[in-house]
């Protein structure tokens, strides 16, 4: 009993809404992804049916639609297929409002105006920005959160190095450009992270 009210049992797989994010106790993110899909589709359908000019469409996408989707990026794991799908959904509306063919390359609408593009915002850029902000915030936190983040980051870096070594050992005569791809210059920087004393 909680303040004379019976508590309701929810199974670990039952989704519940918390601060705008659909969570489950077993960390199944498919419910949150479906919610993000549905909300984005509703907003884009409303925008496509509105009497917004092409420039107003870009402004609405940049200032309202993408931030509403990016709100959950810091806590919701998103795969590249998810980002591709959302980018394509947004790009479809932008192309429609600019009377462009649906087959128009997405790279063209994301390009700068000086290169004959539309400077359309990208979900990929916003996702990477939110992830970077979340990581830096955790690394600068004075609590145990910083140590935990460093340990997880170090473990992930070690795992990636192991995968790289395994991958290279299966390839004979690997070219130098290929080695540069699997040995990025920033790999050594992450190994120098140490918790504050």
68-89 per-residue burial string, b: 16 or more CB within 10 A, e: under 16: ebbebbeebebeeebbebbbeb
Three-state secondary-structure class, residue 64: helix
Question: Would you call 149 exposed, middle or buried from its count of C-beta atoms within 10 A (0-12, 13-18, 19+)?
Answer: buried
What are the structure tokens assigned to 51, written together? Answer: 């009497």
| The pLDDT of residue 197 | 47
**Are 81 and 156 within one domain?**
no
Contacts 24+ apart (CB under 8 A), 45-52: 47/93, 48/93, 48/96, 48/97, 52/97
Instruction: Find out whether 127 and 86 touch, Cβ atoms under 8 Å.
Output: no
pTM for the complete prediction? 0.72
120 and 30 in one domain? yes
CA–CA separation, 138 and 65 (whole Å): 26
* Residue partners of 138: CB distance under 8 A and separation at least 6: 145, 146, 148, 149
Q: Contact 96/88 with Cβ under 8 angstroms?
A: no
* Residue-level pLDDT at 178: 57
Per-residue pLDDT, 173: 58
Residue 111 and residue 150 share a domain: no
Give pLDDT, residue 92: 93
What would the two tokens of residue 42 be?
A: 């509703």
- pLDDT value at residue 194: 55
Q: What is the pLDDT of residue 83?
A: 93
For residues 37 and 111, membership in a common domain is answered with yes
pLDDT in tens, the chain (197 residues): 567 777 777 788 889 888 989 999 998 999 999 999 999 999 999 999 999 999 999 999 999 999 999 999 988 999 999 999 999 999 999 999 999 988 888 888 888 888 888 888 899 999 999 989 989 999 999 999 999 999 999 998 899 888 888 877 776 555 555 555 555 555 455 455 555 54
Whether residues 90 and 160 fall in one domain: no
Structurally, the chain folds into a number of domains equal to 2
Which residue segment(s) compose the domain that 153 sits in?
144-190
Q: How far is CA 177 from CA 122, 168, 173, 184, in A?
A: 28, 13, 12, 11
101 & 63 share domain: yes
């Amino acid at each position: 009993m909680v303040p004379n009210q019976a508590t309701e049992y929810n199974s670990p797989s039952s989704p519940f809404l918390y601060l705008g994010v659909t969570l489950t106790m077993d960390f199944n993110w498919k419910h949150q992804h479906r919610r993000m899909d549905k909300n984005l589709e509703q907003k884009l359908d409303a925008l496509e049916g509105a009497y917004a000019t092409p420039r107003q469409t870009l402004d609405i996408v940049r200032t309202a639609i993408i931030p509403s989707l990016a709100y959950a990026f810091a806590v919701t794991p998103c795969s590249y297929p998810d980002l591709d799908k959302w980018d394509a959904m947004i790009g479809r509306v932008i192309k429609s409002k600019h009377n462009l063919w649906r087959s128009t390359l997405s790279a063209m609408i994301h390009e700068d105006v000086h290169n004959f593009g539309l400077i359309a915002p990208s979900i990929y850029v916003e996702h990477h920005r939110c992830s970077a902000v979340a990581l830096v915030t955790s690394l600068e936190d004075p609590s145990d959160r910083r140590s935990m983040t460093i340990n997880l980051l170090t473990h992930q870096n070690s795992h990636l190095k192991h995968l790289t070594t395994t991958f290279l050992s299966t390839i004979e005569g690997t070219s130098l450009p290929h080695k540069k791809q699997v040995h990025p210059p920033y790999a050594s920087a992450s190994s120098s992270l140490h918790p504050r004393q």
